[in-house]
Structure 1
Amino acid sequence: MNKRILIIDDDEDILDILKTIFRDEGFDVIISNTGQAASQIHIIHPDIILLDVRINGSPKRGDEICSEIKTQYPNQKYPVVLVSAETNLAVIANDCGADFYIRKPFDIYDILLEVKKRLT
């Protein structure tokens, strides 16, 4: 069974690029340009979540969504990766309980390598 990745980002270009890269590597990819998909975690059952901090049009920031995921599913292994250009990303990731973070702009091969590391 392929590993499932949930990617939440308001940038359609980033969603398209990441979807293509991860699908080409054999992952099952679910994308969302709003934070609404986070309320479906129990249905989606992702193996990892890539989450932007600022999601235009979403009532919640990515770090708030991350905190909620970690609180609502304490016994589930849903690794959350913040992917953002925020200057204080390390602090934000630590405060919300993210498993790690990747700064934008990112190198496609680096993000692929980091995700694969977390899923093996």
Structure 2
Amino acid sequence: MTSKELVLYIEDDINMQILLSDILKYEGIGVIVDNGMNIAKILEENNVRMIFMDENLGAYRGSDLCSQIRTFPAYDHIPIVMISGIWNISTIAQNCGAQHFIRKPFDMYDVISTLSTHYVYNRPKNSC
């Protein structure tokens, strides 16, 4: 397991992957992006401190993956933030055990605010 602390972003849309990854990198946070197919391996091999997860992942629902993560004691402490444009994402997030949600479309400040609440980190000097 690596000692570097990372955020895992589960998303199947390339443009969204780039957008959120760029925000996290701007904040000085390492990020791993995956479509949800490798989540178990990523959690096992990395020090994941927070998970951002899209609800619509093609063949999956992010909320189903969130619920599965919550069944493993080794990972149930990791904050999960559901991301979606679905009108009831707040209810979906609550029902699957996520700590928070971000509604699409979002901007950089939605992500930064969520990080400030659920992820303790040292912000770089050039940060907002």
TM over 0.5: yes
Larger radius of gyration: 2
Alignment partner, residue 125 of structure 2: none
Query: Contact 1:2/1:26 (CA < 8 Å) preserved in 2?
Result: no
TM-score, L = length of structure 2 = 0.82
State the aligned residue count: 117
Residues 1:52 and 2:66 are matched in the alignment: no
Uncovered stretches (5+) of structure 1, i.e. residues with no partner: none
TM-score, L = length of structure 1 = 0.87
Q: Cα offset for 1:14?
A: 0.9
Query: Contact 2:5/2:49 (CA < 8 Å) preserved in 1?
Result: yes
Uncovered stretches (5+) of structure 2, i.e. residues with no partner: 121-128
Q: RMSD over aligned Cα, in angstroms?
A: 1.7
Q: What is the SS of the residue equivalent to 2:105?
A: coil
In the TM superposition, structure 1's runs of 4+ consecutive aligned residues that sit over 6 Å from their partners are none
The structure carrying a bigger helix percent of its residues is 1
Query: Sequence identity, in percent?
Result: 31
CA distance in 1, matches of 2:46, 2:7: 9
Sort the Cα spacing of 1:75 and 1:15 in 2 relative to 1 into closer, same or farther, 3 A.
Answer: closer
Map 1:1-120 → 2, pairs under 5 A? 3-32=5-34, 34-40=35-41, 41-56=43-58, 58=59, 60-73=60-73, 76-120=76-120
The structure carrying a bigger strand percent of its residues is 2
